[in-house]
């Protein structure tokens, strides 16, 4: 006899876990940075449109498929769309594996920066810190990279091992509210700073002439990554959702939470950056630079109460990353449990160690080990870390997302979809026809645009 599926205890449980998956380094690390180099306002507006017009419909589609079948990505697509579609789920499992490999490395850095900040708070901030290349030294230190990523992976595996209710939901119920409280504290502090006005204007006053053409595509590409779409993560989380809980309402809440947090994080970071004269011009050219080079310095030189807020900030980033690595690993683990009849313990150990092996190689590919750091498969992307990041953002997620929109939009029967969405739990404003139009036409066209831009225009979403 089959054991009953371990479900979320309530809609709130699901929303916190799914928001935990969505809110991650994408919100705190990538979004502020791409907002910066796409000149703010207009980009943010386009991003919001992409989230509403492309992200939300696909979120609904993924959760719908999961809740209906109560199976993880591969089985869910086979059962609800047709056996030929199982491979799209398999594509997602591979994508999860690829994202985990570099994501865990960055997640590991947050541990180190949390500890570093604690040290600075107690012993004083070193005058020459931001001047030297402390960041480069850190990423080039192989054993340290392995240790940090290993610790992070161990935390992730511990949660996954304990299962959906006792593991994932329980930790999300603790970490997500904590994250929101820390963010609120940071926001209050940031808004009192001198740069706040300039930051708000930068983010909320759109000047369309300043939006680079590929900013639109970048906003689209990022809306996938940030909502954890395109790889079956939301199918998998949706498969633990009870039929009593609304697909549409849950999707809406996850999307709103993710978006609000990305914007709040951006307001905080720019308020801090604009408060130090001349700082804006110096923002490092890499994504990592803003979070790990510019900000640590500012916490200790300009932020009021920075001694307290600095460590808290890195704790927050770490928490956000952890609830995301958990969901990435869960996609892989759930496949082995549901489709290969493996026990959760065995699947967790196997998948965790397997992904850690690649993670370890990614960690060594930032300078520690020459051959891993210097090879080039995609033009301009040097080493394994950059290659994996590039592969996921430019190829795996858009193609996966495209196939999911096709599967749900065109190959699933209308009856099935209506049964799931119009089941009496949907909010009053929801119109099936509108969603259907978006998932059949708007979303696939938008995603196809990303893929075409990558192939023909050499666009880059990493």
Q: Which residues are near ligand TRP by CB under 6 A?
A: 21-22, 24-27, 99, 225-226, 228, 231, 233, 324, 327-328
Q: State the Cα–Cα distance between residues 404 and 55, nearest whole angstrom.
A: 12
Name the packing angle between helices 86-123 and 142-161 (round to 10°): 120
Contacts of 366 (CB under 8 A, 6+ apart): 105, 139, 140, 145, 373, 383, 385
Identity of the residue, 145 or 226, whose beta carbon is nearer to ligand TRP in the bound complex: 226
Structure tokens that stand for 261 in this block: 């947090």
Least CB distance from residue 258 to ligand TRP, whole Å? 7
Query: In what helix (H) or strand (E) does residue 34 lie, and over which residues does it extend?
Result: helix 31-37
Contacts of 245 (CB under 8 A, 6+ apart): 8, 10, 11, 14, 67, 425
Structure tokens that stand for 447 in this block: 């995603």
Identity of the residue, 326 or 361, whose beta carbon is nearer to ligand TRP in the bound complex: 326
CA-closest candidate to residue 190, choices 136, 268, 130: 268
Least CB distance from residue 54 to ligand TRP, whole Å? 15
Least CB distance from residue 334 to ligand TRP, whole Å? 12
Least CB distance from residue 277 to ligand TRP, whole Å? 32
Identity of the residue, 160 or 231, whose beta carbon is nearer to ligand TRP in the bound complex: 231
- CB-facing half-sphere around the CA of 348: CA atoms within 13 A: 19
Least CB distance from residue 395 to ligand TRP, whole Å? 14
Q: State the Cα–Cα distance between residues 59 and 266, nearest whole angstrom.
A: 23
Q: State the Cα–Cα distance between residues 67 and 411, nearest whole angstrom.
A: 17
Identity of the residue, 26 or 398, whose beta carbon is nearer to ligand TRP in the bound complex: 26
- Give 427's DSSP letter: -
Q: State the Cα–Cα distance between residues 8 and 14, nearest whole angstrom.
A: 6
Least CB distance from residue 424 to ligand TRP, whole Å? 30
Identity of the residue, 69 or 110, whose beta carbon is nearer to ligand TRP in the bound complex: 110
Distances (CA, A) of 384 to 16, 164, 188: 32, 32, 39
Q: State the Cα–Cα distance between residues 117 and 122, nearest whole angstrom.
A: 9
Least CB distance from residue 179 to ligand TRP, whole Å? 13
Least CB distance from residue 373 to ligand TRP, whole Å? 24
Least CB distance from residue 195 to ligand TRP, whole Å? 25
Least CB distance from residue 330 to ligand TRP, whole Å? 8
Distances (CA, A) of 67 to 71, 293, 334: 8, 42, 14
Identity of the residue, 26 or 108, whose beta carbon is nearer to ligand TRP in the bound complex: 26
Identity of the residue, 189 or 325, whose beta carbon is nearer to ligand TRP in the bound complex: 325
Identity of the residue, 125 or 225, whose beta carbon is nearer to ligand TRP in the bound complex: 225
CA-closest candidate to residue 291, choices 263, 264, 268, 323: 268
Least CB distance from residue 227 to ligand TRP, whole Å? 6
Cα diameter, the chain:
67
Distance of CA 239 to the CA centre of its chain: 19
Identity of the residue, 227 or 366, whose beta carbon is nearer to ligand TRP in the bound complex: 227
Identity of the residue, 225 or 299, whose beta carbon is nearer to ligand TRP in the bound complex: 225
CA-closest candidate to residue 462, choices 383, 363, 367, 372: 383
Identity of the residue, 100 or 295, whose beta carbon is nearer to ligand TRP in the bound complex: 100
């Amino acid at each position: 006899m089959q054991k009953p599926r371990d479900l979320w205890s309530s809609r709130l449980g699901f929303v916190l876990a799914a928001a935990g998956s969505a809110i991650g380094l994408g919100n705190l690390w990538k979004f502020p940075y791409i907002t910066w180099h796409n000149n703010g306002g207009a980009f943010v507006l386009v991003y919001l449109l992409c989230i509403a017009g492309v992200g939300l419909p696909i979120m609904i589609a993924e959760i719908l498929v999961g809740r209906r079948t109560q199976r993880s990505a591969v089985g869910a697509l086979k059962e609800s769309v047709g056996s030929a579609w199982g491979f799209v789920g398999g594509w997602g499992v591979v994508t999860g594996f690829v994202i985990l490999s570099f994501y865990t490395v960055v997640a590991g850095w947050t541990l180190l920066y949390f500890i570093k900040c604690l040290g600075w708070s107690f012993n004083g901030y070193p005058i020459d810190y931001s001047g030297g290349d402390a960041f480069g030294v850190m990423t080039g230190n192989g054993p340290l990279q392995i240790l940090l990523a290993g610790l992070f992976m161990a935390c992730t595996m511990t949660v996954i091992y304990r299962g959906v209710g006792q593991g994932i939901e329980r930790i999300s119920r603790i970490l997500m509210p904590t994250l929101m409280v820390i963010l609120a504290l940071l926001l209050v502090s940031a808004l009192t700073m001198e740069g706040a006005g300039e930051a708000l204007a930068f983010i909320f006053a759109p000047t369309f002439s300043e939006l680079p053409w590929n900013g639109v595509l970048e906003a689209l590409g990022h809306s996938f990554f940030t909502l954890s779409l395109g790889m079956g993560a939301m199918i998998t989380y949706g498969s633990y959702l009870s039929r009593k809980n609304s697909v549409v309402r849950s999707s809406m809440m996850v999307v709103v939470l993710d978006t609000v947090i990305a914007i709040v994080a951006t307001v905080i970071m720019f308020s801090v950056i604009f408060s130090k004269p001349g700082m804006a011009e110096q923002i490092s050219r890499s994504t990592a630079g803003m979070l790990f080079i510019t900000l640590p310095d500012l916490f200790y030189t300009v932020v009021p109460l920075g001694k307290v807020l600095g460590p808290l900030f890195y704790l927050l980033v770490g928490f956000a990353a952890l609830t995301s690595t958990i969901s990435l690993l869960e996609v892989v683990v759930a496949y082995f449990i549901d489709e290969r009849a493996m026990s959760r313990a065995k699947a967790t150990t196997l998948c965790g160690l397997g992904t850690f092996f690649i993670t370890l190689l990614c960690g060594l590919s930032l300078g520690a080990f020459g051959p891993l750091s210097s090879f080039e498969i995609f033009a301009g992307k040097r080493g394994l870390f950059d290659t994996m990041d590039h592969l996921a953002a430019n190829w795996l997620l858009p193609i996966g997302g495209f196939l999911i929109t096709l599967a749900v939009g065109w190959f699933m029967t209308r009856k099935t979809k209506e049964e799931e969405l119009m089941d009496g739990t949907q909010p009053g404003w929801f119109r099936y026809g509108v969603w259907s139009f978006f998932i059949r036409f708007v979303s696939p066209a938008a995603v196809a645009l990303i893929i075409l831009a990558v192939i023909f225009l050499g666009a880059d979403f990493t």
